[in-house]
């Protein structure tokens, strides 16, 4: 195709791509801009030139205690991800390196649990949480997020582990490595990239989960999803603050997401597209 790449072609494609990209990115960009406007500016009509105040960020923290839901989001997403990894790593390991005839069925079945619509079990889960006093508790939500993401974590790890050639493990055994040395010197270094990608993607998924986190929390354990959703009722005159809160809610995960684009494709398609 090299001969086709004329400068004009490249310039046209570049212009088109940038226009599309900016349109798609616009709502995020505009949120960022609005967050540094004053409230009157925010509703004064379209403008890309804010006065550049950081007051909204301060107000969101002082009036609505932004830090609390933020910390809840961090605790829930990181905690549930680590918990899921601890449970999933041995499973995925066994499936990748000691597959049996039933391994495939087990994997498919795990995936099928992900297909179960959350609303279908809303009632029993809600009642169980209520009866066990887990409503609005971080522990309850962490367990919940761990369970709903466990199949994805197992699958992602499985697809990564399966790419570690079995011959290398055999080689290390021939070289005299015991099980422990095999894990420390050969497996871990080779598995770390896959585990890291899984960790990253799962934190993103847990951070943005917006059904259980909203339904099963009120104040104490409420993460950013529930915090932002609580802004839905009042109208007008608060957009700059809403924008500031939104920006802070999405910024950390947006940046994580940029780093994990490639893993995202594999992870969310369960290895079907690489």
Partner 1 sequence: MGSITLQKVSKVFGEAKVIPSIDLEINDGEFVVFVGPSGCGKSTLLRLIAGLEDVSDGQILIDGKDVTQAAPAERGLAMVFQSYALYPHMSVRNNIAFPLKMAKMEKSAIDKKVTDAARVLNLTDYLERRPSQLSGGQRQRVAIGRAIVREPSAFLFDEPLSNLDAALRGTMRLEISDLHHQLKTTMVYVTHDQVEAMTMADKIVVLNRGNIEQVGSPLELYKSPRNLFVAGFIGSPHMNFVDGAYAQSKSAKTAGIRPEHLILSKDSGLWTGTVKVAEHLGADTFLHLDVDGIGQVTARAGGEFGAQYGDRVYLTPDEAKLHRFDDKGIALRA
Partner 2 sequence: MATQNTKTLARLMMAPSVLLLLVWMIVPLAMTLWFSFQNYNLLDPSNVSFTGLFNYQFFYTDPAFFQSIWNTLVIVGGVLLITVIGGIAIALLLDQPIFGQGIVRILIISPFFVMPPVAALVWKNMIMNPSYGVFADISRFFGLRPIDWFAQYPLFSIVIIVAWQWLPFATLILLTALQSLDGEQKEAAEMDGANFFNRFVYLVLPHLARSITVVILIQTIFLLGVYAEILVTTNGGPGYASTNLAFLIYRTALLGYDVGGASAGGIIAVVLANIVAFFLMRAVGKNLDR
Q: Restricting to residues 147-206, which ones interact with partner 1 according to CB under 8 A?
A: 165, 167-168, 170-178, 181, 185-186, 189-190
Q: Which does 250 bind (CB under 5 to 8 A by kind): partner 2, partner 1, none?
A: partner 2
Residue whose CB is less far from partner 1, 118 or 192: 192
Question: What is the smallest separation between the CB atom of 258 and partner 2, expressed in angstroms?
Answer: 5
Cα 151–chain centre separation: 14
104: its two tokens: 């495939």
- Max Cα separation, the chain? 73
- Cβ closest to partner 2, residue 100 vs residue 219: 100
DSSP per position, 19-38: HHHHHHHHHHHHHHHHHTS-
Report helix, strand or coil for 163.
coil
Residue 186 contact, options partner 1, partner 2, none, Cβ 5-8 Å cut-off depending on partner type: partner 1
What is the smallest separation between the CB atom of 193 and partner 1, expressed in angstroms? 10
The distance of closest approach from Cβ of residue 17 to partner 2 in the complex, given in angstroms and rounded to an integer, is 5
Nearer to partner 1, 40 or 165 (CB): 165
**Rg over CA atoms, the chain:** 23
Smallest gap from residue 105 Cβ to partner 1 (A): 17
Nearer Cβ to partner 1 (131/167): 167
Smallest separation (angstroms) from partner 2 to the CB of 52: 18
**265, 274 Cβ separation under 8 angstroms:** yes
Q: How many residues does the chain have?
A: 274
Q: Are 169 and 187 in contact (CB under 8 A)?
A: yes
Helix runs in 101-216, H state only: 103-115, 122-131, 138-161, 166-174, 179-181, 188-208, 212-215
Q: Which is nearer to partner 1, 8 or 101 (CB)?
A: 101
Measured CA to CA, the distance from residue 204 to residue 256 in angstroms comes to 8
Nearer to partner 2 (CB atom), residue 150 or residue 187? 150
At residue 88, φ and ψ (nearest 5 deg) are -85, -35
The minimum distance between CB 171 and partner 1, in angstroms, equals 4
| Binds 272: which of partner 1, partner 2, none (CB < 5-8 Å by kind) | partner 2
Q: List contacts with partner 1 (CB under 8 A).
A: 165, 167-168, 170-178, 181, 185-186, 189-190
């Amino acid at each position: 195709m090299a001969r086709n790449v004329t400068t004009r072609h490249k310039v046209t494609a570049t212009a088109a791509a940038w226009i599309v990209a900016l349109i798609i990115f616009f709502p995020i960009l505009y949120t960022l801009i609005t967050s540094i406007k004053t409230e009157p500016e925010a509703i004064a009509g379209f403008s890309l030139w804010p006065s550049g105040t950081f007051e909204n960020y301060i107000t969101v923290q002082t009036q609505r205690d932004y830090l609390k839901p933020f910390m809840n989001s961090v605790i829930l997403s990181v905690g549930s991800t680590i918990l899921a990894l601890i449970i999933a790593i041995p499973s995925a390991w066994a499936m990748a390196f000691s597959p049996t005839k039933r391994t495939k069925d087990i994997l498919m079945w795990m995936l099928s649990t992900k297909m179960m619509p959350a609303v279908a079990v809303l009632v029993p889960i809600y009642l169980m949480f209520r009866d066990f006093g887990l409503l609005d508790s971080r522990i309850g939500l962490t367990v919940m997020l761990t369970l709903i993401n466990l199949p994805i974590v197992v699958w992602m790890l499985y697809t990564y582990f399966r790419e570690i050639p079995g011959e290398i493990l055999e080689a290390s055994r021939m070289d005299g490595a015991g099980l422990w040395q095999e894990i420390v010197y050969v497996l871990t270094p080779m598995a770390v990239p896959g585990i890291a990608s899984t960790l990253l993607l799962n934190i993103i998924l847990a951070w943005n989960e917006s059904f259980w986190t909203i339904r099963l929390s009120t104040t104490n354990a409420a993460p950013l999803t529930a915090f932002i959703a609580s802004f839905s009722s009042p109208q007008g005159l608060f957009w700059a603050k809403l924008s500031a809160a939104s920006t802070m809610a999405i910024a950390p995960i947006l940046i994580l997401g940029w780093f994990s684009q490639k893993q995202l494709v594999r992870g969310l398609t369960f290895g079907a597209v690489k």
